[in-house]
Structure 1
Amino acid sequence: MNILSTVFLRYDNKKIYYPNSVLITKPISNFYRSPEMGDAVAFTINLSTPMDTIIALKKAIQTYIESKPKHWNPKHSVIVKEIENVDKLKMALCVQHTINHQNFGDRNIRITELIFELKRIFEALNIKYHLLPQEVHLTQVNMNNWRMPMHT
């Protein structure tokens, strides 16, 4: 909204300019205030996870997203972000909600359900992440030279 005119964004993203003197005489309702919001859920799996299992993971995610058309836009992506320390495959699930940024409480509920579903999928496909073996240094303490301090 400017001093003399207001810019509206039409459904096809075309900008339409109206003089404010005309708008003051018309009823106006805000149909769509902001675009649908997106989210990304980052996760890490073992680099040794077979490709067949990763394909099954993507398919299971797609099935879940498509089963919730009132929550999620069917367009989503599972991306590989990086390989770290030659043992971790860092990935992310990028989704688009069917709500906009004004429904932040609903967003939190949906993203929580999505993360729990990812956990169920990981368990069903036996997808895990294991830390690499860590080097441990042990030192022997000679108990013969050790004395209990005396308190007086």
Structure 2
Amino acid sequence: MRFLTEDESERAMNLFEEASERHRISKSCLKNWVVDAFRERRALALTLNDTKTAVNRLHRIINILVGIVIIIIWLLILGIATTKFLLVISSQLLLVVFVFGNSCKNLFEAVIFVFVNHPFDVGDRCEIDGVQMVVEEMNILTTVFLRFDNQKIVYPNSLLGNKPIANYYRSPDMQEIVDFFVHIATPTEKITALKQRILSYVDNKKDLWYPSPRIAFREMCGLNSMKITIWATHKMNHHNMGERFVRRGQLLEEIGKSCRETDIEYRLYPLNINVKSLPPAAAPIISDRMPMSWNNQQRNA
């Protein structure tokens, strides 16, 4: 507030994790903020570089096509190209289309995908065919992804144009769904106290969660347990998956702590076990011919 107004100071403090709660900016918060800013700027620089490279390659292809068209028009104007010559050229073009027709189709679809659809940029976390990957490099014909185990996967852009792509980076603030079970005989007072603890925990984490998460009974599992679901909304999307799991883990720890402090537990009903009469076990036969020491050992056992 020495340099900013009160509103500007609050907005500035909200940029740092847990700064508004602690009323100070720690060294770790500042380091995380700088690292995140560096990653965003680096991803933007890589996106611009890949886009520039793709545009330059597309410009070369267009120059070649325009050059061919200009040569044909120039030959027609000068009268050098006759009907017989054009017939020969057209037959050769048909041969080229037959050989490279599929490649030209893939090139056209890739150009439409990269420059028109453009569903992601370098650095975006995407989900394709149920697998989460980060965009590593974009070209005209292919896109390189980095999987969660750091394995690079190359997808043709013509194939990606026909696949549904989920982009976490371009998504708004996303929800976190947590399910847990309680015994059906748990008193209502304990469940109410558990809800209040969870609500107060989320409300106190203003820089991490939106206030007032939804908590409701989801369903009954048989006659011995109830399923409770929490819908909490992050103040971020799931692009940073590591931070998401850290926040989720802290929420789960708070739920477990609250259950222990309110004496809420999950247990099964006692089961009836019916034991039928079994035939008597056959007694071991001890021969008289066995040594006396062995018989004594059997009696002692």
| Contact persistence 1:87–1:132 (CA under 8 A) | yes
Q: State the partner residue of 2:215.
A: 78
Q: Which TM-score applies when normalising by structure 2?
A: 0.37
| Contact persistence 1:39–1:95 (CA under 8 A) | yes
Cα distance between partner residues in 2 of 1:41 and 1:75: 15
Higher relative contact order structure (alpha carbons within 8 Å, sequence separation ≥ 6): 1
| Contact persistence 2:219–2:226 (CA under 8 A) | yes
Q: CA deviation at 1:141?
A: 5.2
The reply on whether 1:122 has 2:256 as its aligned counterpart is no
Q: State the partner residue of 2:182.
A: 45
Q: State the partner residue of 2:46.
A: none
Cα distance between partner residues in 1 of 2:244 and 2:284: 62
Q: State the partner residue of 1:34.
A: 171
Cα distance between partner residues in 2 of 1:51 and 1:123: 16
Cα distance between partner residues in 2 of 1:53 and 1:136: 32
Aligned AA (1:99): M
Q: What is the SS of the residue equivalent to 1:82?
A: strand
Query: Residues 41-75 of structure 1: CA distance to partner in whole angstroms, max 9, x if unpaired?
Result: 10110111111111111110011001111111113
Cα distance between partner residues in 1 of 2:243 and 2:233: 13
Correspondent of 2:280 among 123, 142, 147: 142
Cα distance between partner residues in 2 of 1:105 and 1:86: 37
Q: State the partner residue of 1:106.
A: 243
Aligned AA (2:249): T
Q: CA deviation at 1:130?
A: 1.2
The reply on whether 1:89 has 2:206 as its aligned counterpart is no
Q: Which TM-score applies when normalising by structure 1?
A: 0.71
Q: CA deviation at 1:95?
A: 0.6
Cα distance between partner residues in 2 of 1:54 and 1:109: 25
| Contact persistence 2:174–2:233 (CA under 8 A) | yes
Aligned AA (2:266): Y
Q: How many residues of Structure 1 are paired with residues of Structure 2 in the alignment?
A: 123
Provide the alpha-carbon RMSD of the alignment: 2.4
Fraction of identical pairs, as percent: 27
Which entry has the higher C-alpha Rg, 1 or 2?
2
Cα distance between partner residues in 1 of 2:240 and 2:195: 27
Q: Decide which structure has greater helix share.
A: 2
| Contact persistence 2:203–2:212 (CA under 8 A) | no
Q: CA deviation at 1:146?
A: 6.4
Query: Residues 61-104 of structure 1: CA distance to partner in whole angstroms, max 9, x if unpaired?
Result: 01100111111111311110112222211111111111112111
Q: CA deviation at 1:121?
A: 0.3
Aligned AA (1:116): E
Cα distance between partner residues in 2 of 1:4 and 1:102: 23
Structure 1's 2 and 75: CA in aligned 2 closer, same or farther, altered over 3 A?
farther
| Contact persistence 1:75–1:96 (CA under 8 A) | no
Aligned AA (2:189): D
Cα distance between partner residues in 1 of 2:252 and 2:117: 45
Aligned AA (1:136): I
The reply on whether 1:65 has 2:211 as its aligned counterpart is no
Q: What is the SS of the residue equivalent to 2:234?
A: strand
